[in-house]
């Protein structure tokens, strides 16, 4: 793709609202840019060290909220399709993620039922499906991490255009940081799904090796089954919470892209 290019301000220095900006007076940085920068720093900090909240998407939502507000109130000259493509790729990734979460929830319920019924054949089949879903999520995490636009080297000849370039750079950074944080969440869910599938398959493996286990082995199998059920219940709860947050992020991505589209194709 071609690098992001900015359309320079008109000689008259007019903004979208028709106000004249003087090229001789340096334009002040829009206050909302500072707010976006704050959210970017918070998101980067969380991505590098999610701590006890590895599945939280609150920082992503906060960033998208203030970014959309910036696009609503700060003038940005129409750009090429790179930024639009970035938001479209993120929205597509979250659409796929939501579908994967639904499949994970269904698989987890089937696994839980198979563990409780002590049905080795059904359990093995459901475990394979869960691990396959986990691999697909890991692949989605790798794909979404590549959503960020390539680094840009934009420059301008005026203070007004420089402000617009600053907004464009900030939007590009927001896409990149949202992609990185999303990849982290997707991968964490994949890890939880794989761990749950492994825990659920342990009792079945033991039963295949020992069709008539001794009393002590029977107790160990019962303990392993209980642990697997608990792991699957935890996965289902996590998936439900992530699903709710992901739907909100998905809607925010669409809204932000609409705001960017309105700049890209302004009404005359």
> What is the model's pLDDT at position 176?
94
Instruction: Give the count of domains, the chain.
Output: 1
Q: What would the two tokens of residue 118 be?
A: 């002590």
Cα 220–Cα 198–Cα 214 angle in degrees, nearest 5: 20
Note down the domain range covering 250: 31-264
> Is residue 11 one of the residues assigned to a domain?
no
Residue 1 has pLDDT above 60, yes or no: no
> Is residue 150 one of the residues assigned to a domain?
yes
Could you report the per-residue pLDDT of 70-126, keeping only the tens digit for each? 988 877 666 557 888 999 999 999 999 999 999 998 888 888 888 888 888 888 888
Helix axes 159-209, 58-73, angle to 10 degrees: 160
Q: Backbone phi, then psi, for 107, in 5-degree steps?
A: -65, -40
DSSP lists the bridge partners of residue 20 as 14
**Mean pLDDT value across the chain:** 80
Do 250 and 62 contact (CB within 8 A), yes or no? no
Nearest to 171 by CA among 104, 239, 55, 76: 76
- Report how far residue 229's alpha carbon sits from residue 194's, in angstroms, rounded to the nearest whole number: 14
What predicted TM-score, i.e. pTM, was given to this entire model? 0.79
> Is residue 6 one of the residues assigned to a domain?
no
Can you tell me the mean pLDDT for 183-198? 92
> Is residue 1 one of the residues assigned to a domain?
no
Q: Poorest-confidence range of 4-18, 25-39, 95-109, 222-236?
A: 4-18
> Is residue 192 one of the residues assigned to a domain?
yes
> What is the model's pLDDT at position 11?
36
- Residue 4 pLDDT class (50, 70, 90 cuts): very low
> Is residue 151 one of the residues assigned to a domain?
yes
> Is residue 16 one of the residues assigned to a domain?
no
Could you report the per-residue pLDDT of 30-51, keeping only the tens digit for each? 788 999 999 999 999 999 999 8
- Report how far residue 172's alpha carbon sits from residue 3's, in angstroms, rounded to the nearest whole number: 12
> What is the model's pLDDT at position 31?
82
> Is residue 199 one of the residues assigned to a domain?
yes
């Amino acid at each position: 793709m071609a690098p992001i290019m900015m359309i320079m301000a008109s000689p008259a220095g007019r903004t979208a609202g028709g106000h004249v900006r003087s090229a001789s007076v340096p334009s002040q940085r829009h206050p909302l840019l500072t707010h976006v920068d704050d959210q970017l720093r918070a998101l980067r900090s969380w991505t590098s060290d999610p701590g006890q909240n590895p599945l939280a998407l609150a920082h992503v939502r906060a960033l998208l909220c203030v970014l959309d507000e910036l696009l609503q109130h700060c003038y940005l000259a129409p750009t090429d399709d790179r930024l639009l493509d970035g938001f479209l790729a993120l929205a597509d990734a979250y659409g796929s993620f939501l579908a994967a979460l639904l499949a994970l929830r269904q698989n987890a319920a089937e696994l839980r039922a198979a563990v409780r019924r002590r049905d080795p054949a059904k359990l093995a089949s459901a475990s394979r499906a869960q691990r396959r879903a986990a691999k697909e999520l890991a692949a989605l995490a790798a794909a979404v991490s590549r959503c960020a636009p390539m680094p840009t080297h934009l420059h301008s000849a005026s203070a007004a255009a420089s402000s617009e370039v600053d907004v464009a750079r900030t939007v590009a950074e927001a896409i990149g940081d949202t992609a990185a944080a999303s990849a982290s969440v997707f991968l964490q869910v994949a890890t939880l799904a794989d761990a749950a599938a492994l825990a659920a398959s342990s009792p079945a493996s033991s039963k295949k090796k020992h069709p008539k286990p001794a009393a002590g082995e029977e107790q160990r199998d019962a303990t392993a089954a209980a642990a697997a059920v608990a792991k699957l219940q935890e996965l289902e709860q996590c998936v439900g919470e992530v699903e709710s947050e992901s739907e909100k992020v998905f809607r925010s991505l669409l809204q932000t892209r609409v705001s960017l589209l309105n700049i890209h194709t302004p009404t005359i």
